Structure 1
Amino acid sequence: MEKPSMMMMGGRMTYEFDAAKGQAVGSVIKMGGGFLGVKLSVEEVITVHDPPRRKVWETCGQTQILIIGAYRMGFEIRPAKGGSHLRVFIDYNHLTTFFRGILSLCFASIYARWCVSQMASDARRAFLPRLKPVAD
C-alpha cells in the first residue's frame, strides 16, 4: 500500500515503525495516508510472532479507516508436499457510522480480499525467485 494503486484510487499509505520494526510481539506499526481527500490513519500491534511460521497483528487505539473497522490480520506457513502452504487471513469489523457504514457494507469484503491477495502476491514474489526447479 506504499505505492499508489487503483484500490486506493491513487492514494498511498506511509509507514512508521518502532525500534522492533514489527518483528516482535508488542511492536507497533503506524500507518497514515489519504484516499480521495480523506485522511486515513491506523495503528497496529504485533500479537503473535513465530518466524518463519506465523505472524498476527491487529489494530489498536483509534483508527481512521474508510472501508473496514478494527481488524486482525496475519499469515501462517506450514510444510506441504513439495513446498509450503501459505494461509493469509483477515478478520474485520464493519464500520458503524452512517456514511462509512454504508461504504463498509458495500466494499469491506472486496477490500479485505484485495489485502489478502496483496500479501499472498508479495510472498509469492519474495520466495519464487529463490525456488529451484525440482528434477523429476
Structure 2
Amino acid sequence: MQYFAELNSSKNLGVALAPHHLHRFQDQIPAIIRDLGNANIPFMYFQEHSDGMYKKTSKEIEMRQMPGFGGGLDYKPILRALKDIKYDGYCEIFMHPVPRGIPILPTIEEISKAINKSREYIESSLKEA
C-alpha cells in the first residue's frame, strides 16, 4: 500500500479501504491508512470480518460484520488514523448477508435501527479517538 501511495500520480485512482479484507492484519490498519493518506482513500467501508459473511450462521454472528455488534475490530485506532490524515472521503457501513442479495434484516425499520446503531457506535468511537 505504501508503494501504491508513493507511485500513484492519478487523482482518479485510489483504494476503497475495507478492514474486513485485512482481518489478519488488524493492528496494521492505522499505519496503512497513514501510508496511503487522504488523497489515496476515496472510500472507507466500515465492515468487520465474520464467518457470517461466507456461510449461513446465526443472525447474531452474521451481524458482527456491522460496527457495534460485537465483532472484534477496535475502531478507535482506525478512526484516529483517519483523523490524522484529515480524511474527507466517503464512509459506508456495510455487510454481506447470506445468501447474498437478501436484505440484512426482515423490515426497513429493523435495517434502519441496525445501521443507526452502527453509526452511533462509530460516532462514539470517533469522539474517543
What is the TM-score normalised by the length of structure 2? 0.35
Relative to its length, the structure with more strand (as a share) is 1
Specify which structure has the bigger relative contact order, considering alpha-carbon pairs within 8 angstroms and separated by 6 or more residues: 2
Bigger Rg, structure 1 or 2 = 1
What is the TM-score normalised by the length of structure 1? 0.34
Relative to its length, the structure with more helix (as a share) is 2
